């Protein structure tokens, strides 16, 4: 009875606050859409200047989408002046090749370098075949066929990133809104006023979790459905498992947000928890490979809820795993939520010991 | 009949700062008890302790023969905090209804009490408005209505008439007296206005966490041989120093 009255009140307050509702339901979609377009943008073909390069090699380069511009003579300055990504020079006497890379974007420079050496190697190979046609059969047979355990040849980074992003946005927005919700109750004195009624501390925590939980469920369903149907994010496993993981994650965010609001005196101080409690979660969510991290960093990852959620979401959405394989992650999330909930009930002792 | 409230040797400090020092208060059933003193005297801390929201460092507090804090007794306490603790996004009626539903109250009784409490503070025409559109005085009145909503035996009102116009202030005081006389309610009021103190059955003057003097307004004036409570307060303060 008391719990339902509280839940009713919380929902009513949230429903009247249109801006907060928009933040909760629309903002994650906006950011996800933006990220989607950012990561799926067409790559610009690299521009390469060449000096003294054979015609067949130029053709080979153009075949792999490199814009080739031929020069009589060129220096380092040509690269800068003509906005070239690289400059390939072949010494007329020795036949030695020199590649000058602009390298303002290291990953672009590395990709260009790789393409050029591949094309150059292919040229050499072709020449060898011409000289020795008998060996050609062997070479063709050696051509590699690639198979993929997860995803396919069209998989892009966004496909691996998106499950983590979906989870993170659910975590972030639920954290902020629930935390500030209870904080407002503290600063306006209504929480103290509540404590002068016969309500029990666990009833308040339960009502808060359920009240905001309802909105978190709606948010999760909107975000997940939007990402899968409209953004066409890869989903190999079951959508229900995705929703289940996100709900558990939302519960953790909810209880953590409410708990941390205990230690904030104002909305501004609540915001200060974002770089401490929320941002680090992203680093350990699986965007950066954990295996390469130092041992102590790996230990930190293990106490981050997003680590488990990211792992589970990636497993279901990208690798198509079932409940059995992610049960460990789910249990970890439940443990986090349970700990935070108990701490919340204890934290309310500040207002009344009973 | 036992006294409604017995406060014995209560001491409280926040950190190193002592707020209440060896406070003893006995409030009989049906009394209108006034706690008077400047802000920062410890009045609010004392009433919060009686409600059970603040823990005492030493001493004990009994309300209706039960040691506080006690959840069941909270059903019988109507508390009005010093700051208006209201939900601004909700209407006045929704606020009343929400707080009413936290107490044991049947549906019909709840409806009737909400109508009664709203009428008492002249808020009936404004019940459908959101609290964010209320004036300061209206918020104060709504807080008072909420304190009354579950029909408690004991009313604890922390500065109930701050920011209320004289006419309404008078009607609120008349209602408090009626609640006391006709319904036998015990009422504690904190105030720093002396003319309000005159209307109390018993007055306790609080300063620096101590009760300087207590008794009926007439007793106090007689014992200090002065004509007004203001002078009692000044004289008692001098004696303490």
**Interchain CB contacts (distance < 8 Å): A and B:** 73
pLDDT at B92: 94
The torsion angle over the Cα atoms of residues B109, B114, B120 and B124, rounded to 10 degrees, is: -140
Q: What predicted TM-score, i.e. pTM, was given to this entire model? A: 0.81
Cβ separation A195–B102 shorter than 8 A: no
Q: Which of A189, A198, A353 to mutate to test the interface with B (most CBs of B within 10 A)?
A: A198
Distances in whole angstroms, Cα of residue A169 to Cα of each of A24, A150, A246, A267: 9, 24, 10, 20
Query: Is-contact A56 A120, C-beta < 8 A?
Result: no
Question: What pLDDT score does A134 carry?
Answer: 66
In the predicted model, is pLDDT for residue B241 greater than 70? no
pLDDT at position A331 is 95
Q: What is the pLDDT of residue A140?
A: 57
- Cis peptide bond N-terminal to B69, omega within 30: yes
Q: What domains lie within chain A, and their CATH numbers?
A: 2-39+156-350 (no CATH), 47-141 (3.40.190)
- Tens digits of residue pLDDT in B15-43: 888 888 888 999 999 899 999 888 888 88
By CA distance, what is B130's nearest residue in A? A16
Question: Which residue of chain A comes nearest to B105, CA vs CA?
Answer: A1
Residue B38 contacts residue B225 (beta carbons within 8 Å): no
- CB neighbours of A272 closer than 8 A, spacing ≥ 6? A264
Domain hosting B61: range is 5-84+152-240
Measured between alpha carbons, how far is B127 from B122 in angstroms, rounded to an integer?
10
Question: Per DSSP, which regions of chain B are E strands?
Answer: 5-14, 17-27, 32-36, 58-63, 66-67, 77-80, 154-158, 186-191, 202-207, 210-215
Helix, coil or strand: residue B54:
coil
Phi (first) and psi of residue A199, to 5 degrees? -70, 150
> Rounded to a whole number, what is the distance in Å from the CA of B35 to chain A's nearest CA?
19
DSSP B132-177: GG--HHHHHHHHHHHHHTT--SEEEEESTTTT--HHHHHHHHHHHH
- Give residue for tokens 């209407």: B91
Asked if B52 lies within 8 A of A354 by C-beta distance, the reply is yes
Model pLDDT for residues B60-119, shown as the tens digit of each residue: 999 988 888 888 889 999 999 888 889 999 999 999 999 999 998 899 999 999 999 999
The C-alpha angle A199, A204, A205, rounded to 5 degrees, equals: 150
**Which two three-digit tokens encode residue A101?**
């890379």
Element housing B108 (H / E): helix B107-120
Lookup: tokens for B122: 């002249």
Burial of A83 from C-beta contacts in 10 A (0-12 / 13-18 / 19+): exposed
Nearest one of A235, A234, A226 to A170, comparing CA atoms: A226
pLDDT (0 to 100) of residue B233: 81
| Residue B163 counted as domain residue | yes
Q: B14 CB near a chain A CB, below 8 Å? A: no
The answer to whether A19 faces chain B, any CB pair under 8 Å, is: no
Task: Determine contact: B86 vs chain A, CB below 8 A.
Answer: yes
Q: Which residue has the tokens 């029909």?
A: B151
For residue B20, give Cα distances in angstroms to A168, B25, B26, B43: 49, 12, 16, 9
Alpha-carbon distance A105 to A192, whole Å?
56
Q: Which two structure tokens, joined as six digits, stand for A292?
A: 């390469």
Cβ–Cβ gap B89/A12 under 8 Å: yes
CB contact under 8 A, B69 and A1: no
Q: Is B102 on the interface with A (CB under 8 A)?
A: yes
CB atoms B102 and A197 under 8 Å: yes
Q: In this structure, are residues A119 and A60 in contact, taking their beta carbons and an 8 Å threshold?
A: yes
Ramachandran quadrant class, B225 (left: phi over 0; alpha: psi -120 to 50; beta: rest): left
DSSP state of B184: -
Which chain B residue's Cα is nearest to A17?
Answer: B89
Beta carbons of A9 and B98 less than 8 Å apart: yes
Return the pLDDT at A59: 86
Cα separation, A235 vs A227, in Å, equals 9
The Cα A275–Cα B108 span in angstroms is 51
Both tokens assigned to A11: 């929902």
Is B103 a member of any domain?
no
What is the structure's pLDDT at A354?
Answer: 66
What pLDDT does A166 receive? 86
Say whether residue B157 is in contact with chain A using an 8 A CB cutoff: no
How far apart, in whole angstroms, are the C-alpha atoms of residue B182 and residue A328? 65
Asked if pLDDT for residue B50 goes beyond 60, the answer is yes
Q: Do B125 and B62 form a contact (C-beta atoms < 8 A)? A: no
Q: SS3 string of chain A?
A: CHHHHHHHHHHHHHHHCHHHHHHHHCHHHHHHHHHHHHHCCCCCCCEEEEECCCHHHHHHHHHCCCEEEEECCCCHHHHHHCCCCEEEEECCCCCCEEEEECCCCHHHHHHHHHHHHHHHHHHHHHHHHHHCHHHHHHHHHCCCCCCCCCCCCCCCHHHHHHHHHHHHHHHHHHHHHHHHHHHHHHHCCHHHHHHCCCCCHHHHHHHHHHHHHHHHHHHHHHHHHHHHHHCCCCCCCCHHHHHHHHHHHHHHHHHHHHHHHCCCCCHHHHHCHHHHHHHHHHHHHHHCCCCCCCHHHHHHHCCCHHHHHHHHHHHHHCCCCCHHHHHHHHHHHHHHHHHHHHHHHHHHHHCCCC
Report if residue B140 sits inside a domain. no
| A226 part of contact set with chain B, CB < 8 Å | no
Q: How far is CA A92 from CA A51, A54, A72, B133, in A?
A: 9, 10, 12, 86
What is the band of B239 on the pLDDT scale with cuts at 50, 70, 90? low
Residue B48 lies in a domain: yes
For chain A (length 354 residues), average pLDDT per consecutive 10?
91 90 89 85 82 85 86 83 86 83 85 87 81 64 76 79 87 89 89 89 91 89 88 87 91 93 89 90 85 86 92 90 91 95 88 71
Per-residue pLDDT, B103 = 92
Residue at B56 is within a domain: yes
Q: Residues of B numbered 104-123 whose beta carbons fall under 8 angstroms of chain A's beta carbons: which are they? A: 104
Q: What tens digit of pLDDT does each residue of B170-219 get?
A: 888 888 898 899 888 999 999 888 888 888 999 998 888 888 888 898 88
Residues paired with residue B77 on neighbouring β-strands, in sequence order: B154
Residue A174 CB contacts under 8 Å (≥ 6 apart), including other chains: A24, A212, A216, A219, A250, A253, A254, A257
**Total domain count for chain B?**
1
Q: Which of B189, B211, B148 is nearest to B32 (CA)?
A: B189
Q: For residue A9, give the nearest of B69, B87, B103 by CB distance.
A: B87
Option in B74, B87, B89 nearest A198 (CB): B74
The CATH number that applies at residue B192 is 3.40.50.300
Q: Are A68 and A62 in contact (CB under 8 A)?
A: yes
CA distance to partner chain A, nearest, from residue B144 (Å): 12
């Amino acid at each position: 009875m008391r719990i339902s009255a509280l839940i009713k009140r919380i929902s009513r307050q949230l429903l009247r606050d249109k801006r907060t509702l928009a933040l909760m339901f629309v903002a994650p979609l906006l950011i996800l859409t933006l990220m989607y377009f950012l990561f799926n943008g067409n790559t610009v073909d690299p521009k390469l200047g060449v000096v003294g390069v054979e015609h067949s090699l130029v053709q080979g380069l153009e075949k792999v989408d490199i814009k080739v511009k031929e020069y009589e003579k060129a220096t380092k300055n040509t690269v800068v002046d003509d906005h070239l990504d690289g400059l390939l020079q072949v010494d007329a006497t020795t036949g030695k090749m020199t590649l000058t890379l602009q390298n303002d974007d290291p990953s672009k420079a590395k990709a260009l370098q790789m393409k050029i050496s591949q094309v150059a190697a292919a040229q050499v190979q072709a020449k060898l075949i011409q000289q020795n046609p008998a060996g050609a059969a062997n070479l063709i047979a050696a051509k590699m066929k690639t198979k993929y355990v997860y995803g396919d040849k069209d998989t892009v980074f966004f496909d691996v990133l998106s499950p983590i992003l979906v989870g993170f946005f659910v975590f972030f927005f639920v954290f902020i809104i629930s935390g500030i919700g209870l904080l407002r109750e503290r600063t306006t004195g209504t929480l103290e006023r509540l404590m002068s009624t016969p309500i029990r501390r666990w009833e308040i925590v339960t009502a808060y979790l359920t009240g905001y939980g309802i909105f978190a469920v709606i948010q999760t369903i909107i975000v997940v459905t939007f990402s899968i149907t409209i953004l066409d994010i890869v989903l190999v496993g079951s959508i229900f498992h995705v929703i289940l993981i996100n709900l558990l994650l939302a519960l953790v965010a909810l209880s953590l947000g409410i708990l941390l609001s205990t230690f904030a005196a104002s909305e501004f101080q609540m915001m200060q928890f974002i770089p401490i409690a929320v941002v680090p979660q992203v680093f350990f969510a699986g965007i950066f490979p954990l295996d390469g991290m130092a041992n102590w960093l790996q230990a930190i990852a293990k106490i981050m809820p997003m680590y488990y959620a990211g792992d589970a979401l990636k497993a279901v959405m990208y690798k198509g795993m079932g409940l059995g394989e992610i049960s460990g992650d789910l249990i970890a999330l439940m443990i986090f939520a349970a700990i935070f909930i108990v701490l919340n009930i204890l934290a309310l002792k500040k207002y009344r010991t009973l | 009949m036992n006294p409604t409230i017995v406060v014995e040797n209560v001491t409280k400090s926040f950190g190193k700062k002592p707020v209440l020092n060896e406070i003893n208060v006995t409030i009989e059933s049906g009394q209108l008890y006034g706690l008077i003193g400047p802000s920062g005297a410890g009045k609010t801390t004392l009433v919060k302790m009686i409600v059970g929201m603040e823990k005492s460092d030493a001493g004990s507090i009994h309300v209706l023969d039960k040691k506080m804090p006690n959840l069941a007794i909270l059903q019988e306490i109507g508390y009005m905090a010093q700051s208006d603790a209201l939900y601004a996004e909700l209407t006045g009626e929704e606020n009343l209804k929400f707080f009413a539903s936290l107490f044991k109250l049947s549906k019909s009784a709840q409806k009737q009490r909400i109508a009664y409490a709203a009428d008492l503070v002249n808020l009936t025409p404004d019940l459908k408005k959101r609290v964010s559109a209320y004036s300061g005085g209206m918020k104060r009145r709504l807080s008072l209505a909420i304190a009354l909503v579950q029909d408690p035996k004991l009313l604890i009102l922390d500065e109930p008439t701050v920011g209320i116009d004289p006419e309404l202030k008078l009607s609120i005081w008349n209602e408090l007296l009626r609640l006391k006389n006709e319904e036998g309610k015990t009422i504690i009021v904190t105030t720093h206005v002396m003319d309000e103190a005159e209307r109390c059955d018993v007055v306790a003057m609080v300063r620096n966490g101590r009760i300087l003097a207590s008794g009926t307004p007439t007793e106090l004036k007689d014992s200090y041989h002065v004509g007004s409570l203001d002078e009692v307060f000044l004289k008692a303060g001098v004696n303490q120093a």
